[in-house]
Chains A and B, each alone.
Chain A
Amino acid sequence: MNCKDLNKILLFYIQGELAPETQTEAERHISSCNACQALFNELSQTLDVITTEKNIPDSPFFYTRLKQRIESIKDEQSEAIFSSTFFKSWHLIPLSLLIIIGITFGILLGNSASTVKSSSAILSERSSALKASADEYFLNDINQDTFYAYFQNDKK
Chain B
Amino acid sequence: MSDKDLVEKILQKNEQAFRQFVEQYQSLVLKTCNGFVHDADDAQDIAQDVFIEVYQSIESFRNDAKLSTWLYRIAVNKSLNHLRKNRRKQWIQSIENIFSNGDSNANNVQASESAGADFHLESNERAKILHEAINSLPKMQHTAFILNKYEELSYKEIADVMQTSIPSVESLLHRAKLNLQKKLINYYKIF
Contacts and interface: CB of A to CB of B under 8 A. Distances in A.
A39 B185 contact: yes
Contact of B40 (A50, A56, A73): A56
B38 interface: yes
A53 interface: yes
Contacts, number: 71
Central interface residue in A11, A45, A46, A69, by most chain B CB within 10 Å: A46
B150 A53 contact: yes
Contact of B126 (A11, A46, A58): A46
B130 interface: yes
Contacts of A73: 52
A49 B150 contact: no
Contacts of B127: 49, 53
Interface string B32-55: 001100101001100110011001
A65 B188 contact: no
B26 interface: yes
Contacts of A42: 184, 188
Q: 9 smallest A-B Cβ distances: which pairs?
A: A11-B181, A42-B188, A56-B34, A49-B127, A46-B126, A49-B130, A46-B130, A63-B22, A66-B48
Interface of A: 7-8, 10-12, 15, 39, 42-43, 45-47, 49-50, 53-54, 56, 58-59, 62-63, 65-66, 69-70, 73
Interface of B: 19, 22-23, 26-27, 30-31, 34-35, 38, 40, 43-44, 47-48, 51-52, 55, 123, 126-127, 129-130, 149-150, 177-178, 180-181, 184-185, 188-189
